[in-house]
């Protein structure tokens, strides 16, 4: 929410476009959290106190707070569920690209975040805090049964876009700060899309966790190559 003024050579003040920042909380939902989420991200619950602190103490720094939710379609079985294909979770298969003969790789997951179930709900202590704040918006993704959606901006094939890019642009947001789950899937895809849409993008590395922790460093360097800024939750 900083409004910047800079001094130009002749000493006159020139006002700049105010910088507006959104906080993106990625998929902080029951099913991604230990101890009993169906797709619990290792140590995913360790981010919770950091998220509480941001929402309790630093929320005023954000012009908009967006909580994304993986919201897989019920009752038809989602393409990303191992159970849909009679396969084991955490294996990959080839599925057809939408409207195409081309095959693409789809990771298979345990059933998770099915709409209308507890698994889909945002962690209650995060939700309680969001309920008290103004300027909170929710972005639901993954409701196309045929195409998985990691990014909060679009599905994995860029066939369907959520309202997020439009929401941010129409709110005058130029900067986004990202935390949540999981580093190697939904945080990664959301951060890369944020860069593609032109947002200055900060990723809070202590407030994210990976499905495969061995991949974290590689993902973070990939995000740096996309122009993301790595920061700590205490920096906000």
Pick between residue 62 and residue 153 the one whose CB is nearest to Zn ion. Answer: 153
Pick between residue 22 and residue 79 the one whose CB is nearest to ligand VGL. Answer: 79
The partner in contact with residue 62, picked from ligand VGL, Zn ion, none with C-beta cut-offs of 5 to 8 angstroms by kind, is none
Are 45 and 30 in contact, with CB atoms under 8 Å apart? no
66 touching ligand VGL, by CB under 6 A = no
Number of residues that bind ligand VGL (CB under 6 A): 9
Both tokens assigned to 119 = 């698994």
199 touching ligand VGL, by CB under 6 A = no
Question: Which residue of 47, 136, 177, 186 would you call a contact of ligand VGL, by CB under 6 A?
Answer: 186
To the nearest whole angstrom, how small is the minimum distance from the Cβ of residue 75 to Zn ion?
16
Both tokens assigned to 136 = 């909170």
Are 43 and 53 in contact, with CB atoms under 8 Å apart? no
| Residues catalogued as catalytic | 27, 141, 186
- Rounded CA separation 216/199 (Å): 22
Pick between residue 70 and residue 143 the one whose CB is nearest to Zn ion. Answer: 70
Question: Which residue of 185, 191, 194, 236 would you call a contact of ligand VGL, by CB under 6 A?
Answer: 185
Count the alpha carbons within 13 Å of 181 in the hemisphere toward its beta carbon: 28
- Rounded CA separation 119/70 (Å): 10
Pick between residue 34 and residue 198 the one whose CB is nearest to ligand VGL. Answer: 34
Q: Which residues contact 117 (CB under 8 A, 6 or more apart)?
A: 74
**Contact letters for ligand VGL, residues 103-122 (x by CB under 6 A):** ------x-------------
Both tokens assigned to 208 = 């994210």
Q: What angle do CA 207, 201, 124 make, to 5 degrees?
A: 35
70 touching ligand VGL, by CB under 6 A = yes
Tokens 């939710």 locate to 69
Question: Which residue of 22, 23, 27, 54 would you call a contact of ligand VGL, by CB under 6 A?
Answer: 27
181 touching ligand VGL, by CB under 6 A = yes
């Amino acid at each position: 929410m900083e409004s910047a003024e800079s001094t130009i050579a002749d000493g006159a003040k020139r006002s700049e476009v105010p910088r507006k920042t959104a906080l993106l909380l990625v998929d902080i939902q029951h099913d991604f959290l230990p101890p009993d989420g169906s797709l619990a991200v290792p140590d995913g619950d360790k981010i919770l106190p950091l998220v509480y602190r941001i929402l309790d103490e630093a929320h005023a720094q954000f012009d908009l707070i967006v909580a994304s939710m993986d919201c897989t379609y019920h009752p038809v079985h989602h393409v990303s569920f191992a159970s849909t294909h009679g396969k084991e979770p955490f294996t990959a298969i080839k599925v057809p690209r939408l409207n195409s003969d081309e095959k693409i790789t789809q990771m298979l997951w345990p059933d998770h975040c099915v709409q209308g179930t507890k698994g889909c709900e945002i962690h209650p202590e995060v939700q309680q805090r969001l309920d008290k704040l103004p300027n909170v918006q929710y972005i639901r993704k993954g409701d196309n049964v045929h195409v998985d959606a990691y990014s909060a901006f679009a599905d994995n094939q860029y066939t369907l876009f959520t309202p997020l890019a439009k929401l941010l642009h129409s709110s005058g947001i130029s900067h986004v700060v990202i935390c949540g789950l999981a580093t190697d899937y939904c945080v990664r895809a959301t951060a890369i899309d944020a860069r593609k849409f032109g947002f200055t993008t900060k990723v809070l590395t202590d407030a994210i966790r990976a499905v495969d922790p061995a991949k974290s460093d590689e993902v973070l360097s990939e995000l740096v190559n996309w122009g993301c800024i790595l920061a700590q939750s205490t920096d906000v």
